[in-house]
Amino acid sequence: DTAVSQTPKYLVTQMGNDKSIKCEQNLGHDTMYWYKQDSKKFLKIMFSYNNKELIINETVPNRFSPKSPDKAHLNLHINSLELGDSAVYFCASSPWEDTEAFFGQGTRLTVV
Amino acid sequence: RKEVEQDPGPFNVPEGATVAFNCTYSNSASQSFFWYRQDCRKEPKLLMSVYSSGNEDGRFTAQLNRASQYISLLIRDSKLSDSATYLCQSGGSYIPTFGRGTSLIVHP
């Protein structure tokens, strides 16, 4: 009965590869997000979706492409991975804007 | 980008101590505020909401000061298990914005 689930939990890959992270929420929330948490623990918003429509794209390189097939899913595809992409990526959802966020367990991405 | 600022700490306190964290926000239009707890290598989890009238949950008290644009979290009678990073969040416009977190270490 996991509320927000993302896979994989760990991802180790070489520079230049393409990878995807999947996220699903069973809370019936309208809004979903991707956050990046770097080594200094700063949670930075990357994308915000409402009812599968992109609302916010926070100056993220276009190597990162989110896709929301329906409002319960928000996947993240990353092309041409770089060393600086190494971080923990969190998917989150909230019932509507301006409310608390519920996070997935995170995907620890290491680019070597 | 509207920012949320927190002192990263760490705050190193003995068991039983009372400790308080502040968090300032720059978006005066924000209507909602929350505190989260994040354990090492885990996801942030909601600790409590912050209401205009304040909010108390056991040993935890959250306050909002709109005039000075900050929220606070007070932890009384600290336990070893309170050791974690505490993040504040301001809401609004589909962008939940987080502070960098304040690290709390409670020692015996």
Counting one residue from chain A and one from chain B, the pairs whose CB atoms sit within 8 A come to 61
Q: Which residues of A touch B (CB under 8 A)?
A: 31, 33, 35, 40-43, 45, 48, 50, 55-56, 58, 90, 92, 94, 97-106, 108
Tens-place pLDDT, residues B12-39: 999 999 999 999 998 888 888 999 999 9
Quick one: average pLDDT of A8-35? 96
Quick one: average pLDDT of B50-77? 93
Q: Tell me if chain A has a CB within 8 Å of the CB of B46.
A: yes
**pLDDT band (50, 70, 90) for residue A1:** low
Quick one: average pLDDT of B59-86? 96
The pLDDT value recorded for residue B52 is: 82
The pLDDT value recorded for residue B34 is: 95
pLDDT of B93 above 80 = no
Q: Quote the mean pLDDT of chain A.
A: 93
B78 contacts B106 by C-beta, under 8 angstroms: yes
Quick one: average pLDDT of B67-87? 96
The pLDDT value recorded for residue A97 is: 75
- Which residue of A56, A102, A106 is in closest CB contact with B94? A56
The pLDDT value recorded for residue B2 is: 59
Tens-place pLDDT, residues A76-108: 999 999 999 999 999 999 987 778 999 999 999
The pLDDT value recorded for residue B100 is: 93
pLDDT of B1 above 60 = no
- CB-CB neighbors (< 8 A) of A90 in chain B: 43-44
Q: Tell me if chain A has a CB within 8 Å of the CB of B95.
A: yes
The pLDDT value recorded for residue A26 is: 96
The pLDDT value recorded for residue B51 is: 79
B6 contacts B88 by C-beta, under 8 angstroms: yes
The pLDDT value recorded for residue A13 is: 97
- Which residue of B43, B89, B91 is in closest CB contact with A106? B43
Map residue B81 onto helix, strand or coil.
helix
Three-state secondary structure readout of chain A: CCCEEEECCEEEECCCCCEEEEEEECCCCCEEEEEEECCCCCEEEEEEEECCEEEEECCCCCCEEEEEEECCEEEEEECCCCHHHCEEEEEEEECCCCCCCEECCCEEEEEC
